[in-house]
Amino acid sequence: MNTAAIAAPGIANARALQRSLAQAERRRKLRGISLTLPLLVFLLLTFLTPIAVLLKRAIENPEVATALPRTVAALQAWDRRDVPPDGAFAALAADLGALPDRADAGNLARRLNSEVSGARSLVMNAYKALPLEGAGSAADAKARLLDADPRWNEPKFWQAIAKNGARWTPDYLLASVDLRRDAAGNVERMAPDQRAFGRILVRTFGISAAVTLWCLLLGYPLAYWLSTLSARRANVLMILVLVPFWTSILVRVAAWIVLLQSAGLVNRSLMGLGLIEQPLALLFNRTGVIVAMVHILLPFMILPLYSVMKSVPPTYLRAAVSLGSSPLAAFFRVYVPQTYPGIGAGALLVFILSIGYYVTPALLGGPDDQMLSYYVAQYANVTVNWGMACALGAVLLAATLVLYAVYRRIVRAELSLG
């Protein structure tokens, strides 16, 4: 049998071999996948699903559609300008009467109140005045609703109901960039006193950029110095970089409060040296936020820089100098370009981490130093408007992805240059 197969290596046999090879390959791949499967499932559960849920929450708008189906239908034909027809009042009374639980009215009230201030008490007043089904005609229902709260005569509340009749809404996302839909559904800019997030987003990027720049300015020389030291001494000094890195952020923030306050160490020594007369305002403003953030994020700049610098052979610099370049020019034209990947990685890490900063600005900054995450927390925790919190989170996510894409392009360009 064996000899026959060898003697006549038929096409069928070659195919069988191929097939069994492919099978073996497939099995190997499957085994490989099954090994990474736990990780994939973990990622799916802890990372991708929450993000998907967050994005869904940012456009979800079930409250009005679920609670007031008849009212939404009755408002379809309404011109959204004057007080709606009596039928809408009757539909509203019927809808509110049909709510299974007070919590449904509460959720409706919260949703409408974030659209028009005052809707919370308006809806709850009407709900508490129930039952209204006893009302015979539509006009009667209207009279009784107005009796419960005369503000039902104001079109703005009805406009909010009509506008939010759909299950999905772009409103939260629009609001996170200071836009809104008017009663007719056209997108327009918010009233000036309600415009905030555009400026906050710019501020978030501004603070992050400043922190990144300071980290680079301080981290680069330090990383360079570390990379020139012997391994033993570098390791000892590296501990000095890492120990603060491993300390809790809150502890470091508290330490900065002690150092920077007006009777703190920094101000006292400056006054003791006679450099200043009055204590400087270093805390609860931009200075404090940036100082503390730079301190906290510095290791994220130093570590990638150091690892890249370690791999740059010092001979290039010597070669450049021996070929007649001045040391400074050699440093900037030969050495620095070789560390671009480290600069890129460090800057990206620091920038992306700073965009999401929350505790440090909350404790060390004033209200005009708060970054976007502060408002995410505010909407999630205090206002309990999770749609808005998710929309702001989505904006942060988008900003991070865009930055990462930009980084990939720059780094690839750099590599192709090298």
Partner 1 sequence: MNKSLWATALVVAGFALPAFAQQQITIVNFGGANANAQKKAYYDPFEKATGIKVVPVEYNGEQAKIKAMVETKKVTWDVVEVESPDVARGCDEGLFDKLDYGKIGSKADYVPAAVSECGIGVFVWSTVMAYNGDKLKTAPTTWADFWDTKKFPGKRALRKGARYNLEFALMADGVKPADVYKVLATKEGAERAFKKLTELKPNIQWWEAGAQPPQFLVAGDVVMSTAYNGRIDAANREGKNLKITWTGGIYDLDYWVIPKGTPNKDAAVKFIAFASQPETQAEYAKNIAYGPTNNKALAKLDAKVLAGLPTSPANSKDALQFNIKFWADQGEELEKRFASWAAQ
The residue ranges that bind partner 1 (CB under 8 A) are 101-103, 105-107, 109-110, 113-114, 117-121, 124, 192-196, 199-200, 203, 261-263, 284, 362-363, 366-368, 370, 375, 378, 380-386
Q: Among residues 23 and 269, whose Cβ is nearest to partner 1? A: 269
Minimum distance between the CB of residue 244 and partner 1, rounded to whole angstroms?
A: 24
Minimum distance between the CB of residue 390 and partner 1, rounded to whole angstroms?
A: 12
Q: Among residues 68 and 363, whose Cβ is nearest to partner 1? A: 363
Cα distance between residue 29 and residue 376, in whole Å: 43
Q: What angle do CA 270, 272, 275 make, to 5 degrees?
A: 45
Per-residue CA distances from 61 to 11, 58, 69, 225, 387 (Å): 64, 9, 13, 56, 8
Minimum distance between the CB of residue 154 and partner 1, rounded to whole angstroms?
A: 13
Q: Among residues 113 and 339, whose Cβ is nearest to partner 1? A: 113
Residue 182's φ and ψ, nearest 5 degrees, are -80, -175
Contact partners, residue 65, CB within 8 Å, separation at least 6: 72, 164, 165, 166, 167
Minimum distance between the CB of residue 228 and partner 1, rounded to whole angstroms?
A: 43
The one-character DSSP state at 100 is: S
Minimum distance between the CB of residue 104 and partner 1, rounded to whole angstroms?
A: 8
Minimum distance between the CB of residue 375 and partner 1, rounded to whole angstroms?
A: 7
**Residue 260 is which amino acid?**
L
Minimum distance between the CB of residue 281 and partner 1, rounded to whole angstroms?
A: 8
Q: Among residues 105 and 348, whose Cβ is nearest to partner 1? A: 105
Residue 179's φ and ψ, nearest 5 degrees, are -115, 160
Burial (0-12, 13-18, 19+ Cβ within 10 Å), 81: exposed
The 3-state DSSP class for residue 164 equals coil
Which element (helix H / strand E) includes 14? helix 11-43
Minimum distance between the CB of residue 314 and partner 1, rounded to whole angstroms?
A: 49
Beta bridge partners of 179: 189
Q: Among residues 85 and 118, whose Cβ is nearest to partner 1? A: 118
Sign of the alpha-carbon torsion through 232, 233, 239, 242? negative
Q: Among residues 101 and 277, whose Cβ is nearest to partner 1? A: 101
Q: Give the residue from 119, 125, 121 showing the smallest Cα distance to 144.
A: 125
Q: Among residues 288 and 304, whose Cβ is nearest to partner 1? A: 288
